[in-house]
Structure 1
Amino acid sequence: MIPAPEIPAAGGAQAPPFAAPSRAALRWLIGLRLVVISTLFLGILIIQVNTQQLLQLEQFYWLILVSYGLSLGYLVLYLRGLTTRLQAVIQLLGDIGVVTGCVYFTGGLYSPFSFLYLTVIMVAATMLRGGGLVFAGLSAIAYGVLVDLMVFGVVSVPANLAGVVVPLSSSRVLYQIMIHVVGFVLVALLVSYLSESLRTARSRLREETERAQQFVALTDQVVRSVSAGILAADLDGKVLHVNPAGARILMIADDTAVVGKPLEEVMPLVAHDWPSLRTRARTQLLGRLEDDLGDSGVRLGLSVGPLEDERSNLVGFIVNFQDLTALEIETERRRMRDRMAAVGEMASRMAHEIKNPLASISGSAQMLTSLGGLDTKDHRLLHIVVDESRRLSKILDEFLDYARPHQATHKPCNIAAMLRDCMDLLRRSAEITERHELSVDAPDELIVHGEEHLLRQLFWNLSRNAIQAMPDGGRLTVSAERRKSTAILVWRDTGVGMSEDVRQRAFEPFMTTNPYGTGLGLAVVYTAVEDHGGSIDIDSAPGRGTTITVELPLLPEVE
Structure 2
Amino acid sequence: MKDNGLRLWAPAAVVVAMAAVWLALSRMSPVAHRWWTIVGDVLLLIAIAALSALHVIIIARRTREARIAADRVSRLEMVTRELVDHEAMIRDDLVHGQRELNERIVRLSGILDASRDLVATRDLHDLLERITDMARSVAGADWTSLTVDASLAGAGTGEAVVITAGTTEGASSLFRLSTPIVCFGQAAGQLTAHFAGVRSGTSDVTHLLAIISSYAGVAMENARLYQDLSSANSRLEAARRYSEGLIEEVPVGIVVLDRDYHVMTWNRVLSETFQMSEKEVLGRHLADVAGVNAEKLVRVLADAAEDPHSMSPRNVSLADIDGDRHIMRLVVSAVESLVGNDEGFIIMAEDVTERVRLGEQLKQAERLKTLGEFVAGMVHEINNPIGIISACAEVLGRKLARHGDQFRECVNTAKIIEDEAIRCSAIVRNLLSFAREAEMNPGEVSVAGLLRETAQFIQGKASECGVELVLDIAGDIPTIIGDRDQLEQVFLNLAVNGIEAMKEGGRLCMAAARLGNRAEISFTDTGPGIPPQDMSRVFNPFYTTKSSGTGLGLALSWSIIERHGGTIEADNASKDGGARFAVLLPLQRNAGREETIRSALPGQ
User: TM-score under structure 1 normalisation?
Assistant: 0.54
Does the aligned pair in 2 maintain the 1:241–1:259 contact within 8 Å? yes
- Structure 1 match to 2:377: 349
Does the aligned pair in 1 maintain the 2:371–2:435 contact within 8 Å? no
Q: 1:415 to 1:316 in 2, by over 3 A?
A: same
Tell me the SS of whatever aligns to 1:270: helix
- Structure 1 match to 2:587: 554
Do residues 497 (structure 1) and 529 (structure 2) align?
yes
Does the aligned pair in 2 maintain the 1:475–1:493 contact within 8 Å? yes
Aligned residues between the structures: 355
2:438 partner amino acid = H
- Separation in 2, partners of 1:410, 1:502: 34
- Separation in 2, partners of 1:277, 1:247: 25
By how many angstroms is 1:436 displaced? 1.7
Do residues 457 (structure 1) and 500 (structure 2) align?
no
- Structure 2 match to 1:482: 514
2:256 partner amino acid = A
Question: Which structure is higher in strand share?
Answer: 2
2:542 pairs, out of 498, 501, 510, with 510
Tell me the SS of whatever aligns to 2:504: coil
Deviation string for 1:463-498 (max 9, x for gaps)? 011111112210001111101101112111011323
Q: 1:279 to 1:219 in 2, by over 3 A?
A: closer
- Separation in 1, partners of 2:389, 2:336: 79
- Separation in 2, partners of 1:370, 1:526: 42
Do residues 399 (structure 1) and 453 (structure 2) align?
no
Does the aligned pair in 2 maintain the 1:441–1:478 contact within 8 Å? yes
Q: Which moved more, 1:258-267 or 1:237-246?
A: 258-267
1:396 partner amino acid = V
Q: 1:358 to 1:234 in 2, by over 3 A?
A: closer
By how many angstroms is 1:411 displaced? 1.9
State the structure with more CA Rg.
2
- Separation in 2, partners of 1:528, 1:319: 40
1:256 partner amino acid = K
Superposition pairs of residues 333-348 of structure 1, within 5 angstroms: 333-348=361-376
Deviation string for 1:424-460 (max 9, x for gaps)? 2211x24523732111111344322211111000100
Superposition pairs of residues 97-136 of structure 1, within 5 angstroms: none
1:438 partner amino acid = L
Do residues 440 (structure 1) and 471 (structure 2) align?
yes
Tell me the SS of whatever aligns to 2:577: coil
Tell me the SS of whatever aligns to 1:545: strand
By how many angstroms is 1:319 displaced? 1.7
By how many angstroms is 1:247 displaced? 2.4
- Structure 2 match to 1:424: 456
Do residues 467 (structure 1) and 496 (structure 2) align?
no
- Structure 1 match to 2:421: 389
- Separation in 1, partners of 2:360, 2:300: 34
Do residues 288 (structure 1) and 319 (structure 2) align?
no
Do residues 254 (structure 1) and 277 (structure 2) align?
yes
Deviation string for 1:314-343 (max 9, x for gaps)? 886422123454444333333222223222
Deviation string for 1:102-146 (max 9, x for gaps)? xxxxxxxxx99899xxxxxxxxxxxxxxxxxxxxxxxxxxxxxxx
* Dislocated runs of 4+, deviation >6 Å: 111-115, 209-212, 215-218
Higher relative CO (Cα under 8 Å, sequence separation at least 6) belongs to 1
- Structure 2 match to 1:66: none
In structure 1, list runs of 5 or more residues that go unmatched: 1-110, 116-204
- Separation in 2, partners of 1:238, 1:501: 32
1:253 partner amino acid = M
2:255 pairs, out of 231, 237, 255, with 231
- Separation in 2, partners of 1:358, 1:275: 56
- Structure 1 match to 2:386: 358
Superposition pairs of residues 88-103 of structure 1, within 5 angstroms: none
2:265 pairs, out of 241, 244, 255, with 241
- Separation in 2, partners of 1:373, 1:530: 49
- Separation in 2, partners of 1:328, 1:274: 23
- Separation in 1, partners of 2:400, 2:275: 82
Do residues 320 (structure 1) and 320 (structure 2) align?
no
Tell me the SS of whatever aligns to 2:358: helix
2:267 partner amino acid = N
- Separation in 1, partners of 2:307, 2:398: 89
Q: 1:472 to 1:258 in 2, by over 3 A?
A: closer
Deviation string for 1:239-282 (max 9, x for gaps)? 43211112234x25221343344556555643242897499379
- Separation in 2, partners of 1:338, 1:226: 34
By how many angstroms is 1:299 displaced? 4.5
Q: 1:551 to 1:292 in 2, by over 3 A?
A: closer
- Separation in 1, partners of 2:553, 2:483: 17
- Structure 2 match to 1:302: 330
Q: 1:525 to 1:237 in 2, by over 3 A?
A: closer
Identical amino acids, percent of aligned pairs? 27
- Structure 1 match to 2:600: none
By how many angstroms is 1:511 displaced? 2.2
Do residues 375 (structure 1) and 403 (structure 2) align?
yes
- Structure 1 match to 2:360: 332
Tell me the SS of whatever aligns to 2:279: coil
Deviation string for 1:143-199 (max 9, x for gaps)? xxxxxxxxxxxxxxxxxxxxxxxxxxxxxxxxxxxxxxxxxxxxxxxxxxxxxxxxx
- Structure 2 match to 1:408: 440
Q: 1:275 to 1:503 in 2, by over 3 A?
A: closer
Tell me the SS of whatever aligns to 2:469: strand
Deviation string for 1:332-374 (max 9, x for gaps)? 3332222232223323433321111222233344455666995
In structure 2, list runs of 5 or more residues that go unmatched: 1-166, 172-229, 591-604
- Separation in 1, partners of 2:456, 2:549: 23
Question: Root-mean-square deviation (CA), in Å?
Answer: 4.2
- Structure 1 match to 2:18: none
Does the aligned pair in 1 maintain the 2:301–2:332 contact within 8 Å? no
Tell me the SS of whatever aligns to 2:295: coil
- Structure 2 match to 1:92: none
Tell me the SS of whatever aligns to 2:278: coil
Q: 1:390 to 1:299 in 2, by over 3 A?
A: closer
Does the aligned pair in 2 maintain the 1:270–1:293 contact within 8 Å? no
- Separation in 2, partners of 1:289, 1:372: 68
2:480 partner amino acid = V
Do residues 526 (structure 1) and 558 (structure 2) align?
yes
- Structure 2 match to 1:544: 577
Superposition pairs of residues 42-61 of structure 1, within 5 angstroms: none
- Separation in 2, partners of 1:446, 1:271: 46
